[in-house]
Amino acid sequence: MRDGFIKAAAAAPLIEVADCIHNSEQILTLIKTMEQNGAGIMVFPELCLTGYTCRDLFFQNTLLDSAKERLIWLAHQTEAVDGLIVVGLPFEVEGKLYNTAAFLNRGKILGIVPKTHLPNSDGYNEARQFAPAPKNVKLVCIDGEEIPFGAKLLFACDEMKSLVLGCEICEDLWAPESPGIRLAKAGATILVNPAAGAEITARAKARRALLKTTSSKLLCGYVYASAGEGESTTDGVYAGHSLICESGEVLAETRRFTNETIYADIDVKKILSDRRKTMTFPAAGSEGFTVCRFSLELKETRLSRRFDPFPFVPEEEEERKERCGEILMIQAMALKKRLSHAHSDTAVLGISGGLDSTLALLVSAQACDLLGRDRSSILAVTMPCFGTTDRTYNNACELAKSLGTTFMEVDIKNAVSGHFRDIGHDPKTRDVTYENSQARERTQVLMDLANRFNGLVVGTGDLSELALGWATYNGDHMSMYGVNGSIPKTLIRHIVRFYADTCEDKKLSELLLDILDTPVSPELLPPKDGEIAQKTEDLVGPYELHDFFLFYMLRAGYEPAKILRVAQIAFRGRYDRTVILKWLKTFYRRFFTQQFKRSCMPDGPKVGTVSLSPRGDLSMPSDANAGIWLREIEQLEEA
Q: What is the CATH number of the domain that holds 565?
A: 3.40.50.620
What is residue 502's predicted lDDT score, i.e. its pLDDT?
95
Mean pLDDT over 409-423 rounds to 96
Mean pLDDT of the chain: 94
Q: Tell me if 10 sits within 8 A of 242, measured CB to CB.
A: yes
What is residue 522's predicted lDDT score, i.e. its pLDDT?
64
Q: Is residue 307 part of a domain?
A: no
Q: Is the pTM here over 0.85, yes or no?
A: yes
Asked if residue 345 and residue 284 are part of one domain, the reply reads: no
What is residue 123's predicted lDDT score, i.e. its pLDDT?
61
- In angstroms, what is the C-alpha Rg of the chain? 30
User: Quick one: which of 421, 187, 381 has its CA closest to 290?
Assistant: 187
What is residue 285's predicted lDDT score, i.e. its pLDDT?
77
| pLDDT exceeds cutoff 80 at 167 | yes
Give the chain's end-to-end CA distance (angstroms, integer).
20
Mean pLDDT over 44-50 rounds to 98
Q: Which residues are catalytic?
A: 46, 115, 170
Q: Is residue 212 part of a domain?
A: yes
If pLDDT is split at 50, 70 and 90, which confidence band does 59 have?
A: very high
Query: CA–CA separation, 59 vs 101, rounded Å?
Result: 18
| pLDDT exceeds cutoff 70 at 529 | no
CB 507: neighbour CB atoms within 10 A?
Answer: 10
CA dihedral 123, 129, 135, 137 (to 10 degrees): -130
Asked if residue 215 and residue 184 are part of one domain, the reply reads: yes
Q: Is residue 311 part of a domain?
A: no
Asked if residue 280 and residue 137 are part of one domain, the reply reads: yes
If pLDDT is split at 50, 70 and 90, which confidence band does 523 have?
A: low
If pLDDT is split at 50, 70 and 90, which confidence band does 122 have?
A: low
Mean pLDDT over 474-486 rounds to 96
Give 487-507 pLDDT, tens digit per residue.
999 999 999 999 999 999 999
If pLDDT is split at 50, 70 and 90, which confidence band does 520 have?
A: confident
Concatenating the DSSP letter of every residue in 480-545 gives SEETTTT--HHHHHHHHHHHHHH-S-HHHHHHHHHHHTSPP----S--BTTB----HHHHH--HHH
Instruction: Among 337-341, 391-395, 448-452, name the one with the lowest average pLDDT.
Output: 391-395
3-state secondary structure of 292: strand
What is residue 532's predicted lDDT score, i.e. its pLDDT?
60
Give 133-157 pLDDT, tens digit per residue.
999 999 999 999 999 999 999 999 9
What is residue 323's predicted lDDT score, i.e. its pLDDT?
97
Q: Tell me if 246 sits within 8 A of 214, measured CB to CB.
A: no
| pLDDT exceeds cutoff 80 at 121 | no
| pLDDT exceeds cutoff 90 at 307 | yes
Give 424-459 pLDDT, tens digit per residue.
999 999 999 999 999 999 999 999 999 999 999 999
Asked if residue 337 and residue 264 are part of one domain, the reply reads: no
Asked if residue 251 and residue 366 are part of one domain, the reply reads: no
CA dihedral 320, 322, 328, 332 (to 10 degrees): -160
What is residue 606's predicted lDDT score, i.e. its pLDDT?
96
CA dihedral for 264, 265, 268, 271, sign (positive or negative): negative
Sheet holding 481-482, edge to edge: 406-409, 378-382, 346-350, 455-459, 481-482
CATH number of the domain that residue 247 is part of? 3.60.110.10
**Which helix (H) or strand (E) segment is 24 a member of?**
helix 20-36
Q: Is residue 164 part of a domain?
A: yes
What is residue 125's predicted lDDT score, i.e. its pLDDT?
85
What is residue 208's predicted lDDT score, i.e. its pLDDT?
96
Cα→Cα distances 409→160, 204, 350, 351, 456, Å: 62, 59, 10, 10, 18
Query: CA–CA separation, 632 vs 639, rounded Å?
Result: 11
What is residue 88's predicted lDDT score, i.e. its pLDDT?
98
Query: CA–CA separation, 156 vs 163, rounded Å?
Result: 6
Q: CA 48, 32, 63: angle at the middle one, nearest 5?
A: 25
Mean pLDDT over 297-320 rounds to 93
Q: Is residue 51 part of a domain?
A: yes
Query: CA–CA separation, 192 vs 225, rounded Å?
Result: 8
Asked if residue 281 and residue 430 are part of one domain, the reply reads: no
Asked if residue 429 and residue 343 are part of one domain, the reply reads: yes
Asked if residue 270 and residue 362 are part of one domain, the reply reads: no
Asked if residue 283 and residue 180 are part of one domain, the reply reads: yes
Between helix 543-550 and helix 577-593 the angle, nearest 10°, is: 70
Asked if residue 455 and residue 341 are part of one domain, the reply reads: yes
Q: Is residue 328 part of a domain?
A: yes
| 621 exposure class (CB count in 10 Å sphere: 0-12, 13-18, 19+) | exposed
Asked if residue 340 and residue 227 are part of one domain, the reply reads: no
Asked if residue 234 and residue 159 are part of one domain, the reply reads: yes
| 62 exposure class (CB count in 10 Å sphere: 0-12, 13-18, 19+) | exposed
If pLDDT is split at 50, 70 and 90, which confidence band does 531 have?
A: low
Percent of the chain with pLDDT over 90: 88
Q: Is residue 611 part of a domain?
A: yes
What is residue 355's predicted lDDT score, i.e. its pLDDT?
94
Give 6-28 pLDDT, tens digit per residue.
999 999 999 999 999 999 999 99
Task: Using the 3D structure, point to which of 234, 261, 294 is the last residue of a domain.
Answer: 294
Q: Is residue 431 part of a domain?
A: yes
- Side-chain half-sphere CA neighbours of 283 within 13 A: 13
| 420 exposure class (CB count in 10 Å sphere: 0-12, 13-18, 19+) | middle
Give 187-246 pLDDT, tens digit per residue.
999 999 999 988 888 889 999 999 999 999 999 999 999 999 999 888 889 999 999 999
- Give residue 257's domain range: 2-294
The domain tally of the chain equals 2
